Amino acid sequence: SQGAPESSGTSGGESNDGPKKYAFVFKNTGNPYGEKMLDGFESTIKELGGEVILRSPDQPTAEGQIQIIEQLITQKVDVIAVAGNDPDALEPALKKAKDQGIKVLSVDSAVNAASRDIHVNQANPERIGRVQIEAVSEMIGGEGQIAVLSATSQATNQNTWIEWMKKELEKEDYKDIELVKVAYGDDLRDKSVSETEALLKSYPDLKAIIAPTTVGIAAAGKVLTDKGLEGQIALTGLGLPSEMATYIKSGVSPWMYLWNPIDVGKGAAYAAYELGEGNITGELGEKVDLRDLGEVEVVEDGEGTQIMLGDPFKFDETNIDEWKDVY
Amino acid sequence: MEQKKQTYQPRTLETNLPFSWKRLFFQWEWMLLLILIAVLLLGSYVSPYFLNYPSLRDGTMVFLDKALIVFPMAMIMIMRDIDISVGSTVALSSVVMATLYTSAGLPMEVAIIACLATGAICGLINGLLIVKFKELSAVIVTLGTMILYRGIAYIILEDQAAGGFPEWFGFFGWGYVFGIPFLLIVFAALALLFGIVLHKTTFGRKVFAIGNNPTASRFSGIKVDKVKVIVFMLAGLLAAVTAIFLTSRMGSTRPNIATMYELDIIAMAALGGVSTAGGKGRVLGVVIAVFIIGYLQYGLGLINLPSQIFLIIVGALLILSVAIPKLGGMMKRK
Amino acid sequence: MEIKTENLDLEKKNPLALFYQFRELGLFFFIVILCIGVQLRNPSFLTGENILDMATNTSILVILALGMMIVLITRGIDLSIGAVIALSGMLTAQLVAANPTVNPFLCLLIGTIIGALCGMVIGLLVAKVGLLPIIATLALMNIFRGLTFLVSDGEWVSSYQMSESFVEIATGTFLGLNHLIWIAVIFCLVFFYFLNYTRTGRQIYAVGSNPQSAAVSGIKQGRILFLVYTIMGGLSGLCGVLWVSKFASAQGDTASGYELTVIAACILGGVSIAGGSGKLAGVLLGAILLGILNNALPLLNVSPFWQNGIQGFIILLAVIVNAIVKRRVERIHLLRRAG
Amino acid sequence: MTNEFVLEMKGISKAFPGVKALNDMQFQLKKGEIHALMGENGAGKSTFIKIITGVHQPTEGEMLLVGEKVSFQNPKQAQQHGIAAIYQHVTSYPDLSVTENIFMNHEIRHQVWKTLNWREMHKQARQLLRELGSSLDPKAQMNTLSVAQQQIVEIAKAISTKAKIIIMDEPTAALTARESEELYRITEKLRDEGTSIIFISHRFEDMYRLASRVTVLRDSNYIGTWDVEDISNEKLIVAMVGREINQIFPDKKTSAGETVLEVKNLCKLGEFEDISFSIKSGEILGMTGLVGAGRTEVCQAIFGITAFDKGEILLSGRSIRNKNPQAAMNNGIGYLAEDRLDQGLLVDWSIEKNITLANLSDLSSFTWIHRDKEKRQAKEFGEKVHIKATSIFDSVNSLSGGNQQKVAVAKLLTKELKVILLDEPTKGVDIGAKAAIYEIVQQLAEAGYAVLFVSSEMPEILGMSDRILVLKEGRIAADFVNRGITQEMILEAAMGEEQVQEKSG
Ligand SMILES: Nc1ncnc2c1ncn2[C@@H]1O[C@H](COP(=O)(O)OP(=O)(O)OP(=O)(O)O)[C@@H](O)[C@H]1O
Ligand SMILES: Nc1ncnc2c1ncn2[C@@H]1O[C@H](COP(=O)(O)OP(=O)(O)OP(=O)(O)O)[C@@H](O)[C@H]1O
Ligand SMILES: [Mg+2]
Ligand SMILES: [Mg+2]
């Protein structure tokens, strides 16, 4: 017989008095990007009068997140927001949570449709792919070889964005741009450096690198700086302003993109609150009030639904100084 | 014989030990039991959700999957070896199972058998390399295969996840039998089985003998190599069993599951009193140690302590539990 | 008195004998063949620039492997070095972020001291309390890693917070070679001298070779063990600073799992886990092999999904080939002695 | 105050947890004398030595060095006071070179640089070894040497410290008569140069040959000190054992039956060549030769531990090939290993588990071990060989050498065997226990076992064997029927240039 025989708590919300509990499970600890998101989530939920629980496993693994979700179920939280380390592997755990009446939303990295009520997308992946190709094209004058330096070969977000980049490159405007390689630095400094160096050696005519990941873009920036290649090879992608400040100012990376993780956390908090209060259910076409972030509509995302926050934000030398201390 | 002059006085050897309180109480398992009780009390003190049957019951499901490997790991450590490839073996067997089911379209039952076979073969390869190349230690062999097995998992599944298993497969990781988690039942059964094998059978005796003195064991007619290969195979097999439970809990699999499991497992065995210097260890101690670490983590999780604090606490616990008896011994001698 | 080892004298007269005595012969050939293979596939492999890159990237591994070698020789192991690297790197980086004017040498010194302190804790637990090294360092690995997250509060220290002079430590060059290469070379020389020409150096081998005899010959074992872990800690601390300077970023999970790479380098180089034996040349070769793999696999355009598998396969192959060559050499010795 | 004694020990006691190893020990050592220390296994001799060298600290008593009171907290201090020791269990560094073994912890350093002076150390090592009559290469790694060679290195090490007192704890245990002779010469030379020597041995010949005085210990107690000339053999044995032993070697009752084991042209590259012999049931075949002659190798090849290249082994006329020790044991061949600590016993285990280790399959059903059966068997065989212990649960490392050896023998007896290969069964065993072992061996032969008795000690080879094989450099140098054979004849065969082929008929 499957499923708990005597359910260990009927439903999360109803059996509890007092403020509702909102939990956010990020990918791993010690990740400043995540810390900012958690900050945004925490402050917003507090403003709204809920109780906040912030958790992350010490390693970015699905197993760690499953453990945490189990513990959250036992604590009878009302809403779980999760940035998934794996889209599918959390399904049984999150389903168990949903069975007990807990509302589930994913943020930043989606979990599959069956295990969530809604996904809060930091930005439209299609747009993310497109702006980076546009940027690179502008930096290299519309022709030449480019390469992508990604995180791990399994990172879902990055893989989606890279797919969109490839689609974008099929356009007529970019026919002279050749994507020669997608390399994976596994979000490790040393590996990202080796991979970047190998790119430079294997493709002497390389004109630009797109690195849609924080560790990767910073490592690539470092290699290009050390080898004195600024102006010859352009670098763009997605990175933390604090990590990239040096390279943006030195011109190694003329500009790059990211959204504001604090806002993502905020958006997640509002969505979580609306879900928890029963104001929305995650149905297609619902309107979600994200207060100062505006009102957005629930749209389709594969088999599930999502809301999308703003476009990625462009960081260049004019604004990097004011952002580098923020996140 | 009687007519010969005896050059020695006849002696008798006692075969019954007098009862001794000291022997009964100066045992590692009591200390572990005390720690476990302390952990449970602490847990109930800090969190209202901790000390009730459903919570303790479901808590076990959070940590018991990897704990299955602790039994053969204890055997390996008793033999003065170590296996750091078990995490990769979990990943590879899981990936093979999922691929055979999803891509090759084989029935799930066959895929499960293939998973077990994969684990056993991984263990077999470890064992064979270790006994054929004695100049290489188990550390280097399993370090190599650790990278290799996970590498093969990546080659098979690349960046894909594989899942969509039949409904009943979820039973392994999430199911209950008579209100008890299936995983807990399997764990208990394995604990009993390994306890018997290690402490009551000739095989277990041989494992201890090898840990104490491999040369003398060989000279006494123990097939040291065979025993080693079998134990490493068991480790592979149990890694595959873990793969089944873990995959069931996640509903899908990827090549990067079960990373760093080996360290957690070694920590559990060490806390349980298994000495990596060989020749010592008991299944009971290992079982208690599993629950100590498991419930400690679970309890701290319920009060939402950051996971890095947990790292520190487990580290300190490991050191204190091993150091305190030693320090006590040092005091007594002075 | 007739003793068979007189024959040992004969070996010296054979010009090949010296060659045979070099125990990592198999490994050396393996590396040569590997290099030729890679070069044929990608001609940019054996260019000056790439060799320099490779050397720079392998320097930290070499330094750490030296420390790990002496730990292994005493029958110990240190699993905490990745965590010590992270802790010392993080603390030093925070210092630099707070005082950009700190002298880089002071940074190196402070990092080394932090690491040495960590190492002393291990040394005390192993030498005085008598914990097994694998347990003690496994536990401290967790503790140091946890501490790193606590002191950093999950934040990173980024390149803009680091002073030019600090980053210069790992990027600057002297006589055309990166500072890191120089540091590694200096440490190799110091270790060579230390291990072969000082009493303490030889006592490290003695303690690992036979602890009981070391005790009866009056060697203070506890002191040697303490020293060895302190050195390992100091080197890890130093490498923490170098790491952070090289990558211009300090994270909580810096060098996570790096201890296994370092141990792999040592064991590849013929250091015995059972203690007592291990040569600097071997360890150097081991580290170089790993360095080549890290450099060559991306260059060969190997699919990222295959890299892990290939790396594991090559490591296994290398140790097995080395073992087989060693057996062959011993067989040749035997034949000669018999004939 | 001038002092006749370089070393004086007064009222020394030492207690280990649970054991009183030494009780009120008295000892006086003169300058330039060789002083023998004798006693049964476990009498406390080695413990006493370790107290002198600072490895252990006495619980009570005081120690005077040339009249001055000293107490050593560690071995280094003893070394600095000119005391050097060669310990019972060779304490070498297997991974290091001969030179390093000799100079460990008192290395020669450059005057200026304070770095180790390898050139000088190698030179001196070579010199020292040459003085000892050995041409070992100082750069050779220790674990490539045979036990005898290691012993020589140990002696060189003691001499290299320029010690005034050298202690030798059973240095001859691993040596043959020839090598012992060499050692006597070295020892006497040292004495003549003014060094005082404490010499521990279970061999009476050593004592008579070397020592001027002898001190006897029994059961941790000091019994007395005598001039060697003044004390008779019988009295000495009584002092040591506490009772009379009228007959050391049992009466021989040769009643050889059919040939059980036959070895034909056994060869192994670099170890032995062309070994052929046969043993009948009830027969004891002695095998001797110089250390390194390959006796152990032959035994281990027969027992299936190492493989051999050529040749044949026949058991009761049937050709067998033992792939591993288990196969050998199933075929009815047992082997008592030479190195009991490393190869024979699990020293951390109890007597009981050691005895039954080789016979677990008979004590279990479906691999489940029956503890009662096991205990019964351990008791039976433990008593059969007269192990001196209180219970079968005593740990083996709490036993003295002789009793440890008896445990190993008891283990061998649990299996049903036809042939037993005994490799140095009395090495390091006291006179009382030796007699007991001889008697056990004789009983085995009478019970129909075919016994191969390997030993370096001539008296016991002559006293025990029906026939004697002499090995030289891996070949059979002689095959005697033990009738009217003398030590000289054996030695000649073991060392002589031409092969003495005296086929027994
Ligand atoms: N470290 C120790 N701990 C406990 N007991 C010990 C220790 N060392 C020796 N003993 C015990 O002390 C007693 C004397 O041992 P010792 O080694 O001195 O005997 P011995 O006279 O040298 O014997 P043998 O002739 O066999 O070498 C024995 O009963 C032994 O078991
Ligand atoms: N100098 C040496 N270097 C390397 N191997 C050696 C050396 N001397 C001996 N051996 C090996 O050790 C083997 C056995 O030596 P060992 O001394 O054990 O012989 P043995 O006749 O059994 O002597 P014993 O039993 O009296 O010690 C020899 O056959 C030889 O192969
Ligand atoms: Mg002794
Ligand atoms: Mg021998």
Q: For the residues of C190-209, what is the DSSP string, one character each?
A: HHHHHHHHSHHHHHHHHHHH
Q: Computed from CA positions of residues D163, D169, D172, D174, in that sequence, does the dihedral angle turn out positive or negative?
A: negative
pLDDT mean across residues, chain A = 87
Band (C336; pLDDT cuts 50, 70, 90): low
Is D108 in CB contact (< 8 Å) with chain C?
no
Q: What is the mean pLDDT of residues C145-174?
A: 87
- D246 with B5: Cβ contact below 8 A: yes
B53 burial level (CB within 10 Å; 0-12, 13-18, 19+): exposed
Shortest-distance atom of ligand 2 to CA C3: 1
Band (A72; pLDDT cuts 50, 70, 90): very high
Is residue B67 situated within a structural domain?
yes
State how far residue B320 is from chain A, nearest Cα, in angstroms: 23
Contact residues on chain D for C216, CB-CB shorter than 8 A: 50, 53, 55, 75, 85, 87, 91
Q: What is the mean pLDDT of residues C88-95?
A: 94
Band (D2; pLDDT cuts 50, 70, 90): low
Band (A7; pLDDT cuts 50, 70, 90): very low
In this complex, which chains have at least 3 CB pairs below 8 Å with chain B? A, C, D
Distance CA D435, CA D424 (A): 14
- The tokens for D179 are 């090598």
- Domains in chain C with CATH codes: 58-311 (1.10.3470)
Band (B226; pLDDT cuts 50, 70, 90): very high
Is B136 in CB contact (< 8 Å) with chain C?
yes
What is the tens place of the pLDDT at every residue in A259-293? Answer: 888 999 999 999 999 999 888 888 888 888 888 88
Shortest-distance atom of ligand 1 to CA D19: 5
* Side chain identity, residue B308: Q
Domain that holds residue B142: 62-259
Q: What crossing angle do the helices spanning D147-160 and D118-131 adopt, rounded to 10°? A: 110
Going by CA atoms, what residue is nearest to atom 24 of ligand 2? D291
| pLDDT for position C8 | 38
Band (D339; pLDDT cuts 50, 70, 90): confident
Is residue B129 situated within a structural domain?
yes
| pLDDT for position D1 | 46
Residue of B136, B261, B326 to mutate, interface with C, max C Cβ within 10 Å: B136
| pLDDT for position D504 | 38
| pLDDT greater than 90 at residue D251 | no
| pLDDT for position B5 | 41
Distance CA C83, CA C140 (A): 8
Q: What is the mean pLDDT of residues D375-395?
A: 87
Distance CA A270, CA A52 (A): 13
Q: Name the helix (H) or strand (E) containing A165.
A: helix A156-169
Residue of C23, C72, C131, C142 to mutate, interface with B, max B Cβ within 10 Å: C142
| pLDDT greater than 50 at residue C89 | yes
Q: In this prediction, what percent of chain B has a pLDDT beyond 70?
A: 92
Q: How many domains does chain B have?
A: 1
Alpha-helical (H) ranges within chain C are 6-13, 17-21, 25-41, 48-73, 81-98, 104-123, 133-152, 164-171, 179-197, 199-209, 211-216, 221-247, 258-268, 280-299, 304-338
List phi, psi (to 5°) of D231. -115, 135
Is D487 in CB contact (< 8 Å) with chain C?
no
Q: What is the mean pLDDT of residues D163-176?
A: 82
| pLDDT for position B329 | 62
What is the tens place of the pLDDT at every residue in B50-64? Answer: 888 888 888 888 889
| pLDDT greater than 70 at residue D344 | yes
Is residue B55 situated within a structural domain?
no
Distance CA C304, CA A314 (A): 30
Band (C12; pLDDT cuts 50, 70, 90): very low
D366 burial level (CB within 10 Å; 0-12, 13-18, 19+): exposed
Q: In this prediction, what percent of chain B has a pLDDT beyond 90?
A: 50
| pLDDT greater than 50 at residue D502 | no
State how far residue B280 is from chain D, nearest Cα, in angstroms: 10
- A89 with B59: Cβ contact below 8 A: no
Is residue B195 situated within a structural domain?
yes
pLDDT mean across residues, chain D = 85
Indicate the range of B14-18, C52-56, D35-39 predicted with least confidence.
B14-18
Residues with CB under 5 Å of ion ligand 3 are: D 46, 88
How many CB contacts within 8 angstroms connect chain C with chain D?
111
Q: In this predicted complex, what is the ipTM?
A: 0.84
- The tokens for D228 are 């060697």
Q: What is the mean pLDDT of residues D292-319?
A: 90
Is C13 in CB contact (< 8 Å) with chain D?
no
Is residue B231 situated within a structural domain?
yes
D500 Cβ contact list (under 8 Å, min separation 6):
D470, D477, D478, D489, D492, D493
Please list, residue by residue across A166-193, b when 16 or more beta carbons sit within 10 angstroms of its beta carbon and e when fewer do.
eebbeeeebeebbbbbbbbbbbbbbbbb
Q: DSSP 3-state assignment of B152?
A: helix
3-class SS string, D115-150: CECHHHHHHHHHHHHHHCCCCCCCCCEHHHCCHHHH
Q: Which residues line ligand 2 (CB under 6 A)?
A: C 4-5; D 144-147, 270-271, 289, 291-297, 338, 456
Point out the residue among B15, B203, B221 whose CB comes nearest to the CB of D358: B221
Residue D398 Cα to ligand 1 midpoint, Å, equals: 8
- D105 with C203: Cβ contact below 8 A: yes
| pLDDT greater than 90 at residue C335 | no
Q: Which residues line ligand 1 (CB under 6 A)?
A: D 16, 19, 21, 39, 41-47, 88, 398, 400-401, 430
| pLDDT for position B330 | 57
Q: What crossing angle do the helices spanning C48-73 and C258-268 adopt, rounded to 10°? A: 90
Is residue B298 situated within a structural domain?
no
Going by CA atoms, what residue is nearest to atom 19 of ligand 1? D42
What is the tens place of the pLDDT at every residue in D12-26? Answer: 998 887 678 888 899
In this complex, which chains have at least 3 CB pairs below 8 Å with chain C? A, B, D
Distance CA D206, CA A133 (A): 93
Write down the CATH superfamily of domain D5-241. Answer: P-loop containing nucleotide triphosphate hydrolases (3.40.50.300)
What is the tens place of the pLDDT at every residue in C182-216? Answer: 999 999 999 999 999 998 999 999 999 988 888 88
Distance CA A191, CA A210 (A): 16
Residue-range domain boundaries for chain D:
5-241, 247-332+417-505, 350-415
Q: Which residue of B has its CA nearest to D322?
A: B221
| pLDDT greater than 50 at residue A237 | yes
CB proximity under 8 Å: B 190-249 to A: 246, 248-249
Residue D170 Cα to ligand 3 midpoint, Å, equals: 7
Residue whose CB lies within 8 A of the most ligand 2 atoms, among C3, C4, C330, C332, for a mutation test: C4
Q: Do A and D make contact, counting contact as 3+ CB pairs within 8 angstroms? A: no
| pLDDT for position D498 | 43
CB A238 within 8 A of CB A256: yes
Distances (CA, A) of D262 to D231, D289, D358, D451: 47, 20, 24, 12
Distances (CA, A) of D215 to A116, B254, D190: 89, 75, 20
| pLDDT for position C122 | 95
| pLDDT for position D428 | 74
CB D51 within 8 A of CB D22: yes
Point out the residue among C135, C260, C312 whose CB comes nearest to the CB of B318: C135
Distance CA D224, CA D217 (A): 7
Statement: D247-332+417-505 belongs to CATH 3.40.50.10490 = no
| pLDDT for position B243 | 96
Going by CA atoms, what residue is nearest to atom 1 of ligand 1? D16
Is residue B37 situated within a structural domain?
no
Structure-model confidence comparison of residues C292 and D67, the more confident one: C292
Q: In this prediction, what percent of chain D has a pLDDT beyond 90?
A: 24
- The tokens for A232 are 């010859």
Contact residues on chain C for B135, CB-CB shorter than 8 A: 323, 326
CB B180 within 8 A of CB B57: yes
